[in-house]
Structure 1
């Protein structure tokens, strides 16, 4: 990047923005959200380098179960192989470079839709029609390039970076905060995908703060929030968080009566975890929901929206009804969030708009901006 590069200018603006004490913090510069060059820099330096979430491990229960995703322009397959091992690999054929699989499903092998080159579930090439006359072809030398995948407490985490720190080490402080809830024992019961007309960071910041709840969610959950009682503790370089102590209005948000492991407020605290860069988790003793974000240029974001219940609630005969009520509420909340975050992006494009000072309830947003600045290259 050169001194005239718009991305470099936006990075310099961002670094200046986060170099002040939090008590003087301002919202991130507009270019960080709307610049195509900055969006391209994020693809290279954040999404191609850090750990991302592909959903829940229990979405891939049987051998051959797979899902696909795209990371910084790279099509990726994540699947369960014949030995039950979770694997990640390139989703591009080694012949004429067609994308191999789409969406989700189950396969016995991976067959290219263009020329029927066929790969085993470990990525090795099983067969290639009409290749015997090519003297350079060696089946044993052909395989889909592997991609790092890890099971982090029931979450499928994936990275293109072979040098990324171990995910358990990186997120050890998350485990210290919510390990008592045993996220790995929760089961996913819904998984949806949608695309909104806003920048991915606007949606991420929206999740990170509860300051917007009374106004943006006036029709759903806003009335249950008392801003005077909210606190936003300092996060770490890998995530930020805050929490809410719930009453018994939503039974599914509390520990199930059969759960004897959790005691005191552990039975009623809802945790809101923002795992950088793009995994946003609401975790209660009874249920969870999450957003996993993928940028689609500066003006759109692809969203994976999923959720489910703890092991004890999954075994409850009334759990389905409880979850249906929670899911209906979440759907209404998502409609409100879509409206609010898309309005923010429209405002970011306005000539007369400018970033303003942050509330003490927006500390997570400031820490998120610091993370983004750290990930960007030096001039």
Structure 2
């Protein structure tokens, strides 16, 4: 039986979000608590955002050889992305065509994709190559089986996938971002570490935390906070597919500024960090010498799966001290992430409070305003 009360409550929440987004930025407020706590709102996000948009699944440099693969999900659809025998990136369904077991887990290298359940096995282009004893079934035709292909594109060294056959290409949606960050040469940065975590918060709370630097002096007072001067930060208006902000400063770590042999960056760009939020869930800190990133996936309203990784610009990859610099950075990032986790999990507890009310945003939270408007524009669009 339909739930008119539940439907009305959800529509009221969507209307409240949209009404808030109609305010000018000078009078902008945080999003209403229900967008973080409502399972029905998450269902709309799954339908109207995650099933429609391009989503990052990792770094192309992590797949170096034929047969290298990584696995991910788009909503409820398991996928695998790999280098085929021609070294092309290919994405396909990660579900066996026999009894529908998930095929591969994690990351690795395979010559064939072998189902762990009944050993049906597929080539790197998804064609069924072997099915034990199935030749005894007269109706079986091996040639009629091939894993469904999924749209896959590479942008600036990142792998993006989507289930939406009509979504505009990634490079089209991110053309303006290309212009803004082209001089960094991010395509050539090499991933040096990758981890996966699950935190107890809503995915949007973590996304918003990454987008703004207003929290740095307080939440990160034991790590990067003392080096974070809010007056140095620029938060320009965002674009339909992304938002961004800049911090220009002399870095405390050598890899935070351009390497002496870096000829791509000049002037203030040699010490400028770009913080990028590519909708819906790809978050990047891009510096002249290194990058780190988060890719988010909701696991219900109160848990978020995180792909966390990073690496170095090519000049630092070639530097004899690169490993030591990266180890120092990784230790710092782990400490910063621990602080962020405490912060975003505290916000998730807070948004459930009966007296919780969204307050006015600061001028440094312009990216959060743009993110809210992105969500309001997508929810209910399909």
Q: Provide TM-score, normalisation by structure 1.
A: 0.97
2:55 aligned with 1:52: yes
In the TM superposition, residue 378 of structure 1 has moved relative to its aligned partner by 5.1
Mapped partners of 1:136, 1:351: distance in 2: 61
Alpha-carbon distance in structure 1 between the residues aligned to 2:363 and 2:136: 69
Task: Report the counterpart of residue 134 of structure 1 in structure 2.
Answer: 137
Give the Å deviation of 1:328: 0.9
Partner of 1:334: 337
Return the alpha-carbon distance in structure 2 between the equivalents of residues 361 and 260 of structure 1. Answer: 31
1:261 aligns with 2:264: yes
Q: Does 1:37 align with 2:40?
A: yes
Comparing 163-172 and 219-228, the one that deviates more = 219-228
**Distance in 2 separating the partners of 1:61 and 1:7:** 46
Aligned to 1:372: 375
Within the candidate set 24, 28, 40, 1:25 is matched to: 28
For the 8 Å contact 2:232–2:247, the answer to whether it is kept is: no
Secondary structure of the structure 1 residue equivalent to 2:276: strand
Q: Distance in 2 between matches of 1:131 and 1:13?
A: 57
Distance in 1 between the 2:226 and 2:237 partners? 26
Q: 1:223-238 alignment to 2 at 5 Å?
A: 223-238=226-241
Q: 1:248, CA displacement in angstroms? A: 4.3
Matched residue SS, 1:132: helix
> CA 1:272–1:248 in 2, change beyond 3 Å: closer, same or farther?
closer
Aligned length: 379
| Equivalence for 2:295 | 292
SS at structure 1 position matched to 2:345: helix
Contact 1:3 1:9 in 2 (8 A): no
The answer as to 2:222 corresponding to 1:219 is yes
Which residue is equivalent to 1:168?
171
- 1:246 is aligned to 249
Cα deviation for residue 360 of structure 1 reads 1.2
Task: Kindly indicate whether the alpha-carbon contact (under 8 Å) linking 1:293 and 1:303 is maintained by their aligned counterparts in 2.
Answer: yes
Residue segments in structure 2 that go unaligned for 5+ positions in a row: none
8 Å contact kept, 1:279–1:291: yes
Residue in 2 aligned with 1:73?
76
1:282-321 alignment to 2 at 5 Å? 282-321=285-324
Tell me the distance in 1 between the aligned counterparts of 2:68 and 2:309: 18
1:326-362 CA-to-partner distances (Å, cap 9, x unmatched) read 1111111001000000000000111121111111111
Distance apart, 1:226 and its partner CA:
2.2
Task: Tell me what 2:114 maps to.
Answer: 111
Question: What's the counterpart of residue 19 of structure 2?
Answer: 16
1:216-258 deviation digits (Å, cap 9, x = unpaired): 0010111112223332100101100001112142210111101
Cα contact 1:246–1:253 (8 A) shared by 2: no
Partner of 1:347: 350
CA contact (8 A) 1:117 1:128 kept: yes
Residues 1:280 and 2:283 aligned together: yes
Residues of 2 paired with 1:62 and 1:142: CA distance? 26
RMSD: 1.4
| Partner-residue secondary structure (3-state), 1:83 | coil
Q: 3-state SS of the aligned residue for 1:44?
A: helix
Counterpart CA distance in 1 for 2:252 and 2:211 is 23
The structure-2 alpha-carbon separation of the partners of 1:165 and 1:378, relative to structure 1 and needing over 3 Å to count, comes to: closer
CA contact (8 A) 1:7 1:41 kept: no
Report SS of the residue matched to 1:151: strand
Task: Single out whichever of 198-207 and 217-226 deviates more from structure 2.
Answer: 217-226
- Whether the aligned pair in 2 keeps the contact of 1:2 and 1:8 (CA below 8 Å) is no
Instruction: Give 1:181 deviation, angstroms.
Output: 0.8
1:132 Cα deviation from its structure 2 partner: 2.5
Q: Relative to 1, partners in 2 of residues 1:11 and 1:3: Cα closer, same or farther, differing over 3 Å?
A: farther
**Alignment partner of 1:91 out of 86, 94, 98:** 94
CA distance in 1, matches of 2:188, 2:43: 37
Moved more, 347-356 or 232-241: 347-356
Q: Which residue of 1 aligns with 2:194?
A: 191
